[in-house]
Structure formats: C-alpha cells, structure tokens
Amino acid sequence: MKNICVIGGSGFVGTRLISLLKDDKTVLNLDKAPSALHGVLTQTGDVREPESYTSQLAGQDVVILLAAEHRDDVSPTSLYYDVNVEGMRNVLNAMDVQGVKNIVFTSSVAIYGMNQPTPPTETSPEAPFNHYGKSKWQAEQVLQKWIAKGEERNALVIRPTVIFGEENRGNVFNLLKQIYTGKFLMIGNGRNRKSMAYVGNIVAFMKYKLEAEFSGMEIFNYVDKPDFDMNTLVSEIYRHKGLSAPKLRIPYPIGILGGYCFDLLAKVTGKKLPISSIRVKKFCSSTEINADKLEVSGFVRPMDFKEGLQQTLTSEFAD
C-alpha cells in the first residue's frame, strides 16, 4: 500500500500521521481545512460533498478516514450524523467508483459508553451515551455492510480512547493547561480509571498495520497501558511541574450541578464554554478499555504511556 489518501488529515492526528508516512509512501491529504504543515500534499475536500474528492481517489491503494465531528458541543447535533455517518457512506461510494478496496477508519471507544462493569473488548456490545458515540457506531455499521459485499474489500477499524500529545488542543490539553495555570480543581474522588493513547504511538500502529496489511474487517481498541486513575494522572502532571497535587476537591454532585449551570449559560449566551455537564461526566467517568488484542498483534510501541505524557508536558509547558 504505497499510495495513501488521508481524508481529514489537517488536524492533530492526521498531521502526525502524514509526517510519519510521507518519506516512504505517496500521501495525499483531502481536507476542508488547509494543513499548517503539509500544505503541498493537501487538496480541498469535504466528506459531505463527494464531488469534491471522488476523482482524487483514482489510483489510491488505501483511504484513511479521519474526518469527523467530535467536539462535545457541536451544534446542530445533526452534524455528527451528516459528517460521521453520511460522510462514511459518501467515501465508500467514491471508493467504489475508483475501485479502491482498502480503508482505515478511526472510530472511537465512545461506542461502548461510560462506566462499564468490565473493560470492553472489541466484541463488547455497543452502548454509546452521546451523539458522537452513536454516530461513530452507525458509521461502523455502514462500513460492515460495505465489507459484506465482498469483492476483496478490506477495512481496519481502530477504536482509540482519548488521544493526547504535542500540539493537541483537546480535553487532555485543557486539563494540562488548567494545572499549569493554577486553575484546576479536582471533581469527584479521583478513583475513576482512564485509558489514554499517545498520538505518536497510535499513528505508528496505523503504519504498522498498513505494512503488515489487513484482511476483511479487523477491529482494534487502541490504548496505551497502564491505565491511571485520575488521582495518579493529576499527581504525575503536578510532579512534572515540581509540585504536589492539591487535596481540595469538589464533590461530584456539586460539580455536575455546576456543569448544568454552564450548559444553561452557554444556551442563553450562544457561546461555547470550557465547562459543561458532559465534560464533568466524562472527567469523572471510568473509561478503562481492554487492549488484549492489540498486545498480541506484534506491534511494539515507540514509547510507553508515561514517556508520552512526560514528552507532551515538556513540549507544551517547558519554561
């Protein structure tokens, strides 16, 4: 698989992936947004508008579909389904037009829901709690129907947990920034465990599977072990800063009430705020994911979880 089309590669994960692939593979990035780092490899394309990219898929060996609506506060919520579900259907139709048989799709562990009694495996039932998780599961179902048509179609589905790393500006970065600017308050008892993934490792896994190849529909949870509970994670971040984690914490009922108040304020003002009820729920939930299948795949991570965390902290917050 030497000719690779990345759809939605101008963002955090895509930029890192293209940087890893471009030296020994021919890479095209299709995105509705320009790429800050890989502009020469980028053309404009929107998954909702197949006419904007169908012709560019000619001659490609594989499509890597990263494009998604994933923020917690997307409005209207129909955008999750327009981009994540219909976008998948549009991309597969365009691939059929051009005879492309292979796709890599980044789904999400959000399809399993929160606070599962045991860490979900790839065969666990779906129980998404929000529109993002629901739309990712529906996109997987569209992909399953495409694979079922046969004709040598192949799909690699990667279900990552929350991804962090240098240059990320998502929820993990917000947590790191709050701690480093002295604006962090722990909500809940902190005993909830979090599975996480370092960006350098997950793109390395994608490259590994592209080179090892995949057949039919292969599904992998992606997690970098060990899973820290929030107390340990926060303590590690404070330790990097040279401080001890504060003992003050807000009980969960008060925290979630505050989240609902911010929801109301956001609705009244029309502004997107950094705190919401869903973010409080996600912060205090357990999202421990089983990665046994990944561990026996033959893939060797470039670095372990703690190394990835320390490298991210040093890169983002070095004095």
Give the chain's count of helices (H) and strands (E): 11, 12
In this structure, are strands 224-229 and 193-198 parallel, antiparallel, or unpaired? Answer: antiparallel
Q: Where are the alpha helices (DSSP H) in the chain?
A: 12-21, 78-84, 86-98, 131-148, 171-180, 199-212, 230-241, 252-269, 277-284, 292-295, 305-317
CA dist 175 and 274 (Å) reads: 11
Q: How many of the other CB atoms lie within 10 Å of CB of 99?
A: 11
CA dist 164 and 174 (Å) reads: 11
Query: How buried is 315 (Cβ within 10 angstroms: 0-12 exposed, 13-18 middle, 19+ buried)?
Result: exposed
| Active-site option among 80, 132, 198, 222 | 132
Dihedral sign of CA atoms 45, 50, 51, 53 in order:
positive
Name the token pair of 44. 């404009």
Helix, strand, coil shares of the chain, percent, nearest 5, are: 45, 20, 40
Calculate Rg over the CA atoms of the chain: 20
Instruction: Using DSSP, state whether 215 is helix, strand or coil.
Output: coil
CA dist 38 and 272 (Å) reads: 29
Scan for tokens 């914490």, then name that residue: 249
Q: Is 260 assigned a catalytic role?
A: no
Nearest of 212, 214, 203 to residue 66 by alpha carbon: 203
Known catalytic residues? Answer: 132
